[in-house]
Every structure is written in structure tokens, then in C-alpha cells.
A and B are shown apart, each in its own frame.
Chain A
């Protein structure tokens, strides 16, 4: 794990795991409360849509503040660098699959998914990759299109 700049400086505390996690939970709680502002509360006997979400959001806000304070006290490690390369390519691969499966069909989309995702790994072995992709694509067509009969086109439509 990479260690951020400085040992216990102010900046590293603001980038500590707990501070950021606390910030995240507080943000979710506040957005949750804001969205729920119009949800009816009802009566004590017939509590309505708004009660449970508000209860949860307030609890989450309190917990979030607690975690944030913990982070400021500097008890946890820094987040370190995000692994941007696998992050970007794995997501791109999934989004590619979602956007094109219905238009380009199984063969192209599955191969594309795997090639894009493989860019996320620092190692490069094209020949092995090609064989593996061919194997998985064949298995995919045989199992999912012919075997289970999923209504996914095999070739582009």
C-alpha cells in the first residue's frame, strides 16, 4: 500500500480512510433527508412512508459524524492511490457490455468485454488472451444462446 505524503500532517488526515468514509456517509444521509423532505409522516398508529427513511438518515448522519471525527483524530491510515488502471478498464468493459449486447450480439460483445477488461491488468500476453477469449466466447454461445435459449442475438442485428 502506498503511503501518502507526510506522516500525520493536516492534509493526510483529511485524506485518511475514516475522514473520507465519514464524509461519504454524511453526504448520503443529507441527500437522503433532502429527498425525503416531502414524504408524509402519518400518525403514530399508521406511520407513513417518511418515518423509516428519516430515522435511518438521522442515524447515518450521527454515525458519519462519529467516523469523521475519528478520522480527524488521525487514527487510521491514508487512502493511498486509487488503482485507476483496473478501475477504468473494468468499468469500461461492463458498460460496453451493457450498451452493446442487444445490438452487436454475443460474440462481439463478450470478446470486447474481455479484451477491454484485460487492459486493466499490467501484464500483456496476447496469444494466451486470444485463446482464452475464443474459449469463453464459444462456451458462452453454446451454453447461453443454444443451451439455455436466452433471447440474446449471437451476431450483430
Chain B
């Protein structure tokens, strides 16, 4: 069977000492930034992109991936012990997790979160192994018109599932697309929107843009709004959950994993949405919904499994179609492009060692997280004593030196200042920067496919409707947009996020 040969290839990649080391560095770093509030996986990956330039591509991508799912483990630790979401995806874990900690059951909550996450990680890895190859084979049939429509659908789904104002998210996508085409037009050689600045002829750099929007802007915002840390200092003891805990938790873990695996594949889905939805689901199916929020173990088990499953299945559209479903996947694509790898269906056939190595690394990484995480909780808690105002200085330093080292260009450092200003204004105007990043990645690709499609059809725009795949994707986009514009769905969306 082909599958086993592929998995064997993956294992041979991951079980080289250096790759294992990169995987370990990724998951430990991921846990660390997951524990620290105010520093998320997107900002961390942006900080590390310049460093990955010096690594082999497999090691770089395996490390970056490890940061993302590692952060899901770490986020729950802070949520449970400090009542602060270390990550946005563990906001919901605060409710019951911290309540459990206050009842003196922090150990059980931490253990269930880790075990649930590990189970979810295994299931999600299997899902990727099963669904990625057929999807990527299908994607190879796609023509330029189909790709254009697929990207449109991807962007629209990302908006529909995102939080906040729909119009603003759409505007942020369009702004991202516009920023993406700044620079020399590859087809004609004309410079667009460069305003005579030499640096801009090569386009706006992905790293300064991401660091400004996600790094510097967040620092300004967080320094202005100091947080209170409500650390449960009581010793974490009695780590192992009771028999009743297990009995209550395992169906919740199953449901959370299922929901997370599904929602993760959708553009715009990802970890946060899955955690919220699975908590709502648990409350609905529970026999004692009124007890949620007072330290119910299902309220920890379900969202923690869901966010880990989703963080992994969100790799499926990125690996097979080359389309980022959230800003973390946009970062992964940025990492691939640094190494000259074009993301898309061809990665699987042309770089099988990279593709399968990454998939197998996720399972290995989850195992490492399970083994290392619980014994290291004491260390993570001590790390929380580092005040944010000092951490912010270190982050700022990493941003500057990272961007500078990419091209040894001081001008690019000034770019992060500029995008930091823009990003801070976005925060104050409640414009989510994530859709902008998706647009930025897809801008040049969409234009190229639009051009190619029209060239092949000899200028006939009907090509987008005549090809069945493209037509189907366009109809899906239109239906989705219609659905959101209808007020009923809008309200449902609001209540779902308010939970």
C-alpha cells in the first residue's frame, strides 16, 4: 500500500536527530508562547521566519508547525491557572478550567486538557493522512479559472466565519489583496503603487508586514491596557483525574475532536472557532447545563480537544490547495516561500519528504508535548512571573533584529514601524488584521490566475461560469454571502460568538 510507504518516508524524515531537535524546539517554544499571554503563534512565527532562512526547509516548516499546535497546549495552562487566555483559542477554557483550579482541582483540569489534546492530535493526523492525498489529486485537475473561484470562496468563507463586522472584514481582505500587488508587475514589468520607493519594487515584505501588524501593534495595545494576573499559586497536586472525571470527559473529548477536525478544514475555521462551538455543543447535550462555568470537566475537555484537532486539520487546505485558511497558515506559506517552495497540490508529488515529514512530525510533536508538558508545568508557571512590560521589550528587539537580518536593510526596520502604526489603528477601529494577511498572500495568485484564465478563454469572461468546478465554487461563494446578508443568520452568528 502506497500510504504506508509514504508514512515510512515521513518517519525516516522526522527520525533524524536534527529534525527531531527542530520539532522539539518548535513544540517547546510553542508551549512557552502559548503560556504567555500577549504573544501568539502568529507573532512568534513572524519573529522566527528570518531565522528559518538558515534552516533546511523540512526542519523550518516542522518547527513552525510545532509552534502552532504547541501553543494550543500551552494556552490551556494559563487559562486554567491564571484565568487569562494564553491564546485566543483557550478563552473558553478559562470558564470551567479556572473554576476547577479554584476548587483545588487544577491538576485534573491540566491533565484532561493535555490528554484530550493528545487524542485530538492523533485523530487529526490520521484525518490529514486520509484526506490530503485525494484532495491534492483533485486539485491537480484545476484550471486557472477554477483556482480563481476557489480563492474567492476561500476568502469569503474566511470572512463569514471570522468574528466582528462582515463589511470591515471584507474591506480588510480587499486592502490585503491591494497590498499584495504592490511592486513590479511580473507580467509586464510595470511598477505599481511603489511611490518611487526603491524597496517597494520587490513588493512589500511579508515579514515586516506581519511583524508590524501582529507584533508591534499588539505591544502598543497591551502596554496601554495592563492585565491583572490572578495566579492560583496553590501547589498543583493530584495530577491524575479520578475515574468519574474520565467517565465524564471521554465523550466530550470525542465530540470536541470530531467538531474540531471538521471545522479546522474550513477556511477561517481554525482553533478559536472550534473551541467556542464545541463548548456550546457540550452545554447543549449536557444533562446539567446550569453547572457549566462552575468547574465542569467537560467544559475543559471538549474545547481543548477541539482547538488542537482544528489547529492540525487547518493544514489540509494549505498543504493540498496552497490556500491559507487562517493567518497562521498564511505564515506557513510565507515560510515555504522563503525556501522557494510554491505551496499547492504539487508539493505532495514534488516534495514528498517535506509533505509526509511534516504530517508525521505532528504526531511525534504531540507525543513530545504530552510527555514534556505536565512535568514542566512548574517551569511554565514561573515564566508567568516575567512582567509583560519586560517581555514586550524582548519581543520588540526580536522584531527589529529579525527584519534587519533578512536583507541587512535598515529601511525594512522602518517598515515595521509603519505597519505597527497601521496595525494599532486597526485595533482601535476594531478591524481584524487576519483577513488582510490572507488577502496579501492571495493577491498576486488571484491576479495571475485571472489573467491566465482570460488568456486561455481568449478574453471570454464566461469561462468562470462554463467550467463546472468553477461554477460550483462561485455558486457556493454567492450562497454563503447571501446567507450572511440575511439577518436571521447574522443573529445566529452573533449569539454563537457571544456564548
Contacts and interface: CB of A to CB of B under 8 A. Distances in A.
B421 interface: yes
A67 B165 contact: yes
A123 B389 contact: yes
B223 A120 contact: yes
Interface in A134-152: 136, 140, 144, 148, 150-152
Given A47-B450, A52-B181, A87-B424, A117 B392 contact: yes
B257 to A, nearest CB: 37
A91 B413 CA distance: 11
Interface string B207-234: 0000000001001110111100000000
Given A56-B178, A67-B167, A76-B430, A94 B400 contact: yes
Interface string B450-478: 11001100111100000000000000000
A82 interface: yes
Interface residues of B, number: 64
A18 to B, nearest CB: 7
A66 B193 CA distance: 25
Interface string A87-131: 100110111011101100000001001100110111100001100
Contact of A17 (B187, B226, B400, B430): B430
Nearest to B408: A151
Given A45-B455, A52-B181, A17 B428 contact: yes
B128 to A, nearest CB: 33
A4 interface: no
Contacts of A90: 216, 219-220, 223, 396, 420
A94 B413 contact: yes
A46 B389 CA distance: 54
A94 B430 contact: no
Contact of B428 (A49, A82, A132): A82
Contacts of A24: 425, 429
Contact of A98 (B167, B216, B397, B400): B400
B193 A53 contact: yes
A35 B75 CA distance: 45
B223 A136 contact: no
Given A45-B459, A48-B188, A91-B421, A32 B178 contact: yes
A148 B430 contact: no
Interface string A57-70: 10110011011001
A83 B221 contact: yes
B167 A63 contact: yes
- For chain A, the bracket of interface size reads 35 or more
A83 to B, nearest CB: 3
A95 B417 contact: yes
A101 B447 CA distance: 38
B197 interface: no
B223 A67 contact: no
Contact of B397 (A36, A47, A83, A114): A114
B192 A132 contact: no
B371 interface: no
Interface centre among B167, B411, B451, B460 (most CB of A within 10 A): B167
A98 B54 contact: no
Interface of B: 54, 165, 167-168, 170-171, 174-175, 177-178, 181, 185, 187-188, 190, 192-193, 195, 216, 219-221, 223-226, 387, 389-390, 392-394, 396-397, 399-401, 404-405, 408, 410-411, 413-414, 416-417, 420-421, 424-425, 428-431, 446-447, 450-451, 454-455, 458-461
Given A28-B175, A94-B414, 9 more contacts: A46-B459, A53-B192, A82-B428, A94-B416, A101-B413, A118-B393, A120-B220, A133-B393, A152-B408
25 contacts: A17-B429, A24-B425, A35-B193, A36-B193, A39-B190, A40-B190, A45-B459, A48-B188, A52-B181, A60-B178, A66-B167, A67-B167, A80-B428, A83-B220, A91-B216, A91-B421, A95-B417, A98-B410, A99-B410, A110-B401, A117-B392, A117-B396, A132-B394, A133-B393, A136-B393
